[in-house]
């Protein structure tokens, strides 16, 4: 969920600036599709958003496979962390290159390339020879994640009519959390079919192998659907293919739309695009501008509270305190459903009560929930496969962990991306968002790679550290985060 908003918000900024300039642009209603075309617009948006589904699915599917991988290859906590986190390295590369490739080769070709990488990674991860080549397949899949994190929202922003852009853009986030939930459900079904053991046999392969291989199915669907949708009119216009762009605009907005005016408008936006450089971010007391440091802080705190531990490691977390594999995967699925519910709550509230109040409530709720988890895990008894929690502490751990997911999803999971798209001045927005997103990848990798070793050392202390970061985010939001609700993007500074 990283660089995926930069292009979308750049488009929105340009449209707003154009509408306020001396050259009049079409009113928002002018680019709304005819009623009989709205279904087509929803279809192409949903097809593009399937990249978000793959993003969520591939990011989370490793959760159910971790214990099987550890047992199959006999690896310890450190190597496990490297295998799980290796996808993030590929994601950073994929996200960095996706925009450049999309501008050169087109959005649809890049979607297809991402689908192919997903499919190859799924098959390779399904049948690895050793832990090292599994990590390499994960890197390849991570590159596909990075591509999907950028290209899907870019395409949606460019084809969505102004009147429906906000609602259609939300398809991407909905697809991500849905992919996370479906991956957990599939993991549980496969484990149940294999006798409740991730190393149980299914058609000659172990259950954990099928978990990683099943991702090839939505990858194929993504490839097929991306072959059925039109190229972005913005790319077609930038490539000088005006007749094709005119045809796409008529498909999206209806035959009665003034496509010549729309093409002229998009040409004006392309001509006025400003590509800020890193040096534009310099000049503050500590090297970077204060607003850039605030963006970095938001990105880093979003990861330091440990949210990805839940989606990458929750199955082995619950197994470590005495819950069997099948039930641990079912609990992981329930957490994914709570994640969806929290995301819906955030979407409904972020424009009503504001970004800062929502972030403060989420930070406080996360700090309390994580503190409760730390207390509960401190009562674990036994060792190895015989670890258990007393009934009270076990109940508290389950409730607190799911409360943590809910508070995160309804606040920081959405607010951070809204803020990163809004808080920076126009002249540095794209560059500043890239720096903040890079910081988020690094923090994500650090938490993911360190959790197995830290949990093996002291699970309670690990969650206490996450709780302290959550508590620190309360101070950070109160001191440094400025409310952007109701503020025009042109007035940010």
| Confidence (pLDDT) at 159 | 80
Q: Average pLDDT, whole number, for the chain?
A: 79
pLDDT at 317: 66
Predicted pLDDT of residue 359: 93
Alpha carbon 296 to chain centroid, angstroms = 17
The whole-angstrom separation of Cα 326 and Cα 486 is 47
pLDDT of 278: 66
CA distances from 279 to 27, 114, 158, 437 (A): 36, 32, 28, 17
Check residue 246 and give its pLDDT: 87
251 within 8 A of 238, measured Cβ to Cβ:
no
Closest CA relative to residue 118, chosen from 145, 84, 157, 81: 145
Q: What is the dihedral of CA 190, 193, 199, 200, to 10 degrees?
A: -160
pLDDT in tens, 385-428: 555 677 788 888 888 988 999 999 899 988 887 787 677 776 77
Predicted TM-score (pTM) of the model is: 0.72
What is the predicted pLDDT for the residue at 25?
A: 40
Q: Coil, strand, or helix at residue 423?
A: coil
Band the pLDDT of 14: cuts 50, 70, 90.
very low
Better pLDDT: 343 or 23: 343
Residues near 348 by Cβ (< 8 Å), separated by ≥ 6?
Answer: none
The token pair that represents 132 in the structure block = 């090292």
CA distance 187 to 211: 6
Closest CA to 402 of 453, 455, 339, 312: 339
More confident residue, 314 or 453: 453
**Residue of 255, 163, 483 whose CA lies nearest to 354:** 483
pLDDT computed for residue 365 by the predictor: 96
For the stretch 31-75, pLDDT in tens is 454 545 677 888 888 888 888 888 888 877 887 788 888 888 888
pLDDT in tens, 451-465: 888 877 888 899 999
Q: How far is CA 354 from CA 121, 215, 293, 347, 485, in A?
A: 40, 37, 21, 11, 5
pLDDT at 12: 41
- Per-residue confidence band for 116, with pLDDT thresholds at 50, 70 and 90: very high
Residue % of the chain over a pLDDT of 70: 80
Give the pLDDT score at 456: 78
218-232, 252-266, 479-493, range with greatest mean pLDDT: 218-232
C-alpha distances (whole Å) from 34 to each of 39, 211, 256, 444 are 10, 42, 8, 43
Q: Band the pLDDT of 316: cuts 50, 70, 90.
A: low
Higher model confidence: residue 138 or residue 154? 138
Q: Which position has the higher pLDDT, 284 or 350? A: 350
Rounded Cα–Cα distance for residues 95 and 433 (Å): 13
The reported pLDDT for the residue numbered 95 is 77
Q: Which residue has the higher pLDDT, 349 or 357?
A: 357
Please state, in angstroms and rounded to a whole number, the distance separating the CA atoms of residues 178 and 60: 11
Contacts of 240 (CB under 8 A, 6+ apart): none
274: Cβ–Cβ under 8 A, 6 or more apart, which residues? 426, 427
Which pLDDT does position 408 carry in this prediction? 94
What is the pLDDT averaged over residues 210-216? 91
**Does residue 163 carry a pLDDT above 70?**
no
Highest mean pLDDT among 19-23, 162-166, 266-270: 266-270
Residue 186 near residue 212 (C-beta atoms within 8 A): no
Longest dimension (CA), the chain: 73
Distance CA 118, CA 54 (A): 8
pLDDT (mean) for 80-108: 83
Neighbour count for residue 24 (Cβ, 10 Å): 10
The CA distance from 230 to 159, in Å, is 9
Q: Is the pLDDT of residue 248 over 80?
A: yes
Determine the Cα–Cα distance for residues 297 and 290; give it in Å rounded to an integer. Answer: 10
DSSP 93-162: HHHHHHHHHHHHH-HHHHHHHHHHHHHHHHHHHHS-SSHHHHHHHHHHHHHHHHHHHHHHHHHHHHHS-G
In which band, very low, low, confident or very high, does the pLDDT at 152 lie, cut at 50, 70 and 90?
Answer: confident
Say if CB 348 and CB 282 are below 8 A apart.
Answer: no
pLDDT tens digit string along 254-312? 777 778 888 888 788 777 666 666 676 777 667 788 888 998 999 899 999 988 887 76
Q: How confident is the model at residue 122 (pLDDT cuts 50, 70, 90)?
A: very high
């Amino acid at each position: 969920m990283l660089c995926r908003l930069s292009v979308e918000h750049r488009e929105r900024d340009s449209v707003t600036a154009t509408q306020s300039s001396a050259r009049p642009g079409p009113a928002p209603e002018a680019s709304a599709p005819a009623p009989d075309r709205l279904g087509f617009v929803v279809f192409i948006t949903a097809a593009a958003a399937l990249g978000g589904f793959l993003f969520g699915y591939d990011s989370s599917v490793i959760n159910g496979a971790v214990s099987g991988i550890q047992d199959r290859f006999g690896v310890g906590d450190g190597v496990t962390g490297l295998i799980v986190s290796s996808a993030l390295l590929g994601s950073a590369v994929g996200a960095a290159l996706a925009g450049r490739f999309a501008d050169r080769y087109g959005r649809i070709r890049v979607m297809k390339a991402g689908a192919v990488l997903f499919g190859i990674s799924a098959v390779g991860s399904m049948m690895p020879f050793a832990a090292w080549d599994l990590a390499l397949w994960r890197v390849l899949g991570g590159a596909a994640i990075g591509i999907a994190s950028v290209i899907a929202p870019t395409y949606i922003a460019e084809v969505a009519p102004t009147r429906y852009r906000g609602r259609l853009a939300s398809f991407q986030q909905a697809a991500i959390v849905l992919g996370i939930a479906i991956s957990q459900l599939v993991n549980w079904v496969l484990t149940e079919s294999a006798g409740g053991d991730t190393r149980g046999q299914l058609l000659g392969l172990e259950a954990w192998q099928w978990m990683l291989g099943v991702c090839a199915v939505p990858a194929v669907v993504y490839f097929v659907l991306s072959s059925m949708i039109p190229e972005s009119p913005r790319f077609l216009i930038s490539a000088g293919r005006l007749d094709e762009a005119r045809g796409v605009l008529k498909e999206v907005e209806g035959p009665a739309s003034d496509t010549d005016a729309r093409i002229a408008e998009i040409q004006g936006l392309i001509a006025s695009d400003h590509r800020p450089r890193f040096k534009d971010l310099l000049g503050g007391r500590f090297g970077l501008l204060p607003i850039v440091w605030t963006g970095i802080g938001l990105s880093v705190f979003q990861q330091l509270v440990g949210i990805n531990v839940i989606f990458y490691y929750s199955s082995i977390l619950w197994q470590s305190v005495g819950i069997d594999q099948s039930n641990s995967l079912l609990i992981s699925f329930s957490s994914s459903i709570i994640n969806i519910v929290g995301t819906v709550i955030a979407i409904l509230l972020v424009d009503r009560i504001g970004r800062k109040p929502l972030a403060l409530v989420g930070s406080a709720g996360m700090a309390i929930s994580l503190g409760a988890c730390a207390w509960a895990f401190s009562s674990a008894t036994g060792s190895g496969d015989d670890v258990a929690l007393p009934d009270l502490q076990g109940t508290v751990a389950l409730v607190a962990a799911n409360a943590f997911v809910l508070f995160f999803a309804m606040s920081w999971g959405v607010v951070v991306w809204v803020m990163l798209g809004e808080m920076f001045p126009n002249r540095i927005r794209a560059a500043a968002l890239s720096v903040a997103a890079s910081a988020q990848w690094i923090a994500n990798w650090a938490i993911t790679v360190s959790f197995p070793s830290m949990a093996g050392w002291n699970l309670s202390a690990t969650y206490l550290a996450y709780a302290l970061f959550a508590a620190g985010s309360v101070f950070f939001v109160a001191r440094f985060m400025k409310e952007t609700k109701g503020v025009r993007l042109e007035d940010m500074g």
